[in-house]
């Protein structure tokens, strides 16, 4: 039986628990459906969550939400403890600028991204992304996947240091691996 997005996220909560300790505020950049951040919030009630995206197709709407231009985040420097980019960077026109902005508005940046498994073609990866997002009813216009080397290079371009990383269990049929990165 296939798991729902809610079930998948709920199964991952304990992996992320240590990264939510001593955090008061999180900005979820590219919130999309907002389902994952709402599930996290149910498990971390002392954290204030804020959401932002370039369009509004949220399926849950409990948190403050801002539509922005996709370039400049409309927040003061270091307003949040964490900027979260959950499967966001590969859907951006300019991922370097977005990552710089995420760093500007928060003390730490958490990134979740996926990479293709070895021996998978880029065409297959792109096709499976279209299928996966359609299954979750998530509209998108851009998909520029990273290799692990490209993502680390992006972090380096804006002097973000990887403080911690781990592989995230993946429950789908796509030939990908997912990782979490804590950056400073």
Look up the pTM and report it. Answer: 0.91
- The CATH number given to 5-183 is 3.40.50.150
Q: Where are the alpha helices (DSSP H) in the chain?
A: 5-20, 35-43, 95-105, 122-135, 148-157
Give domain limits for the chain: 5-183
Cβ distance 91 to 166 under 8 Å?
no
pLDDT in tens, the chain (184 residues): 567 777 777 778 888 999 998 999 999 999 999 999 999 999 999 999 999 999 998 999 999 999 999 999 999 999 999 999 999 999 999 999 999 999 999 999 999 999 888 888 888 888 888 888 777 777 777 888 898 999 999 999 999 999 999 999 887 788 899 999 999 9
């Amino acid at each position: 039986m296939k798991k729902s997005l809610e079930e998948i996220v709920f199964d991952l909560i304990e992996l992320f628990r240590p990264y939510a300790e001593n955090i008061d505020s999180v900005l979820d950049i590219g919130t999309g459906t907002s389902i994952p951040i709402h599930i996290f919030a149910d498990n971390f009630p002392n954290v204030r969550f804020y959401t932002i995206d370039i369009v509004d197709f949220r399926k849950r709407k409990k948190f403050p939400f801002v539509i922005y231009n996709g370039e400049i985040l409309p927040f003061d420097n270091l307003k949040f403890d964490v900027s979260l980019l959950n499967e966001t960077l590969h859907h951006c026109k300019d991922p370097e600028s977005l990552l710089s902005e995420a760093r500007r508005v928060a003390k730490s940046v958490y990134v979740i991204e996926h990479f293709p498994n070895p021996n998978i073609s880029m065409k297959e990866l792109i096709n499976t992304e279209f299928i996966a997002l359609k299954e979750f009813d998530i509209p998108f216009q851009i998909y520029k996947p990273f290799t692990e080397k490209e993502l680390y290079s992006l972090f380096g371009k804006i002097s973000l240091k990887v403080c911690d990383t781990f592989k995230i269990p993946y429950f789908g049929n796509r030939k990908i691996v997912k990782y979490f990165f804590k950056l400073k």
